[in-house]
Amino acid sequence: MQDRIIVLGASGQIGTVLTAELRKIYGRDNVLATDIYPNSVSEGPFQVLDVLNIHRMAEIFEQFKPTQVYHLAAILSANGEANIKKTWHINMDGFLRVLEISLEKGVSKVFFPSSIAVYGRTTPKINTPQDSPLLPSTVYGISKMTGEVWSDYMFNRYGLDIRSLRYPGVIGWQSIPSGGTTDYAVEIYHAAFKMGHYDCFLKEDTVLPMIYMPDAIRATIELMEAPKSQIGVHYGYNLSGMSFTPKEIAESIRYFMPEFTISYQPDFRQEIAESWVRSIDDSKARSDWGWKPEYDLHKMTMDMLMHLQNKYGMTVISPLS
Ligand code: SER
C-alpha cells in the first residue's frame, strides 16, 4: 500500500527539511504539510493547522487518510519559559490529540521528536546512557519527557507504533530555529557572513550535544523505515552526532574565515544549557537499527559555509578544499 504522510509543524526548522525529503521518497502528493504558519515549505499539498484546533485536525486526517504521522509542532526550550502554560498546552495537548486521532483512524506509524531537554540535573552528563534518570529543567523538557512516557504507554497498551528520537541541537543551513537554547550554533554561521562577528548568549566553554541536519533527517527516516521487530525503544532513542563548545565552533569557522570574531554575553539560556548533558551514548540506536552519524564539527562547518556562501554571495571556501 502507498504510504500517505501528514507532517504537523512542517514550517519549522526540522519540518521544512524533513517534508522536502519525505516528498522525494514518497512522492510530492503523498506528503501533506501542515503548520500554523504557511511559510518555507517545499512544493506540495499544504493545510494551515493549529494543533489545538482538534476539529480541523480530525477533518484533515479524515480527508487525507494518512498511514504515517510526524508530529513536529512544539514551542522550544527558551521561548517556552516565557509562557509555561501555553507551552504545555501546545506541546502536550496537541500531541495527545494526535495520538487519539491516530488510534481512531488506524494510522500505522507515528513519529514523536523528543530532545536533549529531557535530561536534567540528575542525569549523568558524560556519555549519558539510554535509560538515565530524567529531571528536566524547562517546560519544553517536561513536555518532551511526558510525551515519551505517553508514547511508551500507547505502544504497550494499544500497540500504536510510535517511534521517537531525543534530538541533540539541530544545525542546518536550510532553515532557522526559533526559541531554542542550541540556536546559537545556527545563528553563528549567519552572523559570520552578515557581520563577521557573533555575540554568543552562552559561555565559551559550554559543551552541548549537536547534530547536523542531514544526519538528523537520515536518523529520522531510518528509524521510521526500520522493521518493527528492530525497534526496542518506543519512548525516545538517545541520538548522538557531535559535541562542542561555542569557542570550538567559532574556531572551526575561523579556519575558513580568519577574520571572524566572537564575544560572550551569557543570558538565562546558560542555565538551561548547563542542565543538559555534554555527550550521549547512542549505542541502543546503533545496535537496534544501525544508526551512525556522518558529520563531525569540521565537516559540518565546511558544508554550512559552502551552502551559506551562495546565499550571502561571498566566497570563503572553494568546493575543492
Ligand atoms: N534545540 C532545542 C532547544 O534548544 C533542544 O531540543 O530548545
- Angle, to 10 degrees, between the axis of helix 13-26 and the axis of helix 213-225? 50
Instruction: Please state, in angstroms and rounded to a whole number, the distance separating the CA atoms of residues 223 and 227.
Output: 9
CATH tag for 172-208+241-278+295-312 (out of 3.90.25, 1.10.150, 3.40.50, 2.30.30): 3.90.25
Tens of pLDDT, residues 109-148: 999 999 999 999 999 999 999 999 999 999 999 999 999 9
Tell me the β-bridge partners of 241.
none
Distance 77 CA to ligand 1 centre (A): 6
- 46: its cell numbers: 499544504
pLDDT at 4 over 80: yes
Task: Tell me the pLDDT band of 299, cut-offs 50, 70 and 90.
Answer: very high
Distance 168 CA to ligand 1 centre (A): 7
Q: For 230-242, what is the mean pLDDT? A: 97
pLDDT at 270 over 60: yes
Instruction: Please state, in angstroms and rounded to a whole number, the distance separating the CA atoms of residues 45 and 6.
Output: 10
- 103: its cell numbers: 488510534
Q: For 243-250, what is the mean pLDDT? A: 98
pLDDT score at 176:
86
pLDDT score at 40:
67
Distance 114 CA to ligand 1 centre (A): 10
Tens of pLDDT, residues 19-47: 999 999 999 999 999 999 887 678 899 99
Instruction: Please state, in angstroms and rounded to a whole number, the distance separating the CA atoms of residues 94 and 73.
Output: 8
Tens of pLDDT, residues 198-208: 999 999 999 99
Pair 165, 223: CB distance under 8 Å: yes
pLDDT score at 281:
98
Distance 275 CA to ligand 1 centre (A): 12
Instruction: Please state, in angstroms and rounded to a whole number, the distance separating the CA atoms of residues 31 and 181.
Output: 30
Ligand 1 pocket, mutate which of 182, 186, 271 (most atoms under 8 A from CB): 182
Q: Mean pLDDT, the chain, as a whole number?
A: 96
Domain 5-170+211-238: give its CATH code.
Answer: 3.40.50.720
pLDDT at 196 over 70: yes
Q: Whose CA is nearest to atom 1 of ligand 1?
A: 169
Alpha-carbon separation of residue 26 from 47, 53, 172 (angstroms): 18, 27, 23
**What's the farthest any 2 CA atoms get from each other in the chain?**
57
C-beta contacts of 224-231 below 8 A and 24+ residues apart: 224/68, 224/109, 224/111, 224/163, 226/288, 226/289, 226/290, 228/161, 230/288, 230/289, 231/161, 231/163, 231/288, 231/289
Instruction: Please state, in angstroms and rounded to a whole number, the distance separating the CA atoms of residues 197 and 10.
Output: 31
Buried b (16+ CB within 10 A) or exposed e, 238-268: bbbbbbbbbeebbbbbeebbeebebebebee
Atom of ligand 1 nearest to the CA of 182: 4
Domain boundaries, the chain: 5-170+211-238, 172-208+241-278+295-312
Ligand 1 pocket, mutate which of 79, 87, 116, 211 (most atoms under 8 A from CB): 116
pLDDT score at 321:
57
Instruction: Please state, in angstroms and rounded to a whole number, the distance separating the CA atoms of residues 186 and 165.
Output: 20
Protein residues with CB under 6 Å of any ligand 1 atom = 76-77, 115-117, 140, 167, 169, 180-182
pLDDT at 1 over 90: no
Instruction: Please state, in angstroms and rounded to a whole number, the distance separating the CA atoms of residues 20 and 34.
Output: 13
pLDDT score at 318:
79
Q: Where are the beta strands (DSSP E) in the chain?
A: 5-8, 31-35, 46-48, 68-71, 109-115, 162-167, 169-171, 197-200, 208-212, 237-238, 242-244, 261-264
Q: For 94-99, what is the mean pLDDT? A: 96
Pair 107, 69: CB distance under 8 Å: yes
pLDDT at 319 over 80: no
Distance 289 CA to ligand 1 centre (A): 24
Residue showing cell 540506536: 285
Classified as helix, coil or strand, 232 is: coil
Instruction: Please state, in angstroms and rounded to a whole number, the distance separating the CA atoms of residues 30 and 53.
Output: 23
Percent of the chain exceeding pLDDT 70 equals: 98
pLDDT at 320 over 80: no
Percent of the chain exceeding pLDDT 90 equals: 95
Question: Which residues does the annotation mark as catalytic?
Answer: 140
Ligand 1 pocket, mutate which of 76, 87, 171 (most atoms under 8 A from CB): 76
Alpha-carbon separation of residue 150 from 55, 91, 160, 223 (angstroms): 22, 12, 11, 19
pLDDT at 181 over 60: yes
